[in-house]
Amino acid sequence: MDYDAIILGAGGAGLLAAATAGKAGARICVIDHADRPGKKILISGGGRRFRLPPGSAGPFAAG
């Protein structure tokens, strides 16, 4: 299969890049050496995932 871009790393940055490029119509392949995507995000915030200070969240950030 052909891809427009290959993203190395399925962390927050890679997943957001993949989602943004995918929405724009690009064919994206995301590669990670971990056994599941977003692993670090899942342990962030003491296991409660990404936490931002109240009021600092933009449209992408859900608590």
Ligand X SMILES: Cc1cc2nc3c(=O)[nH]c(=O)nc-3n(C[C@H](O)[C@H](O)[C@H](O)COP(=O)(O)OP(=O)(O)OC[C@H]3O[C@@H](n4cnc5c(N)ncnc54)[C@H](O)[C@@H]3O)c2cc1C
Q: Do 52 and 61 contact (CB within 8 A), yes or no? A: yes
DSSP letters for the chain: ---SEEEE--SHHHHHHHHHHHHTT--EEEE-SSSSTTHHHHHTTTTT-----TT---TT---
Task: Answer yes or no whether residue 9 interacts with ligand X by CB under 6 A.
Answer: yes
Rounded to a whole number of angstroms, the minimum distance from the CB of residue 51 to ligand X is 4
Site string for ligand X, 23-42 (x = CB under 6 A): --------xxxx----xxx-
- Binder among 5, 6, 13, 19 for ligand X (CB under 6 A): 13
List of residues contacting ligand X (CB under 6 A): 8-14, 31-34, 39-41, 43-45, 50-51
